[in-house]
Amino acid sequence: MTKQFVAASLILVALSACGYSRGERALSGAGIGAAGGAAIGAITGGDPVTGAVIGGAAGAATGALTSPDDINLDRK
């Protein structure tokens, strides 16, 4: 189960920085993180709400701390 959690976390972190501006990346990161956290919380028998809060915070922070140079979305 730990391997699944680590794999899911890595995927969520990679996807959490979708967007062009810092605000867009933070918002999309929060949404993706919250959804992933709730799913992981439910799958592992934990509280989905707690998972959503933790995942949302982690996703928002990751999205806000990335720059457009970190992720190339083929925007010129």
Q: Looking at 1-76, list the stretches that DSSP marks H as alpha helix, in order from N- to C-terminal side.
A: 2-15, 22-43, 48-65
CA pair distance 54, 48, nearest whole angstrom: 10
pLDDT of residue 76: 57
Residue 3 domain-assigned? Answer: no
Domain count, the chain: 1
Residue 73 domain-assigned? Answer: no
pLDDT of residue 51: 92
The boundaries of the domain holding residue 48 are 22-65
Residue 46 domain-assigned? Answer: yes
pTM score, whole prediction: 0.67
Residue 1 domain-assigned? Answer: no
Residue 27 domain-assigned? Answer: yes
Residue 16 domain-assigned? Answer: no
Each residue's pLDDT tens digit, 4-59: 666 666 666 666 556 778 888 888 889 889 988 998 898 888 898 999 999 999 99
Reported as type and span, the H/E element at residue 72 is: none
Per-residue pLDDT band at 63 (split at 50, 70, 90): confident
Q: What are phi and psi of 3, to 5 degrees?
A: -65, -40
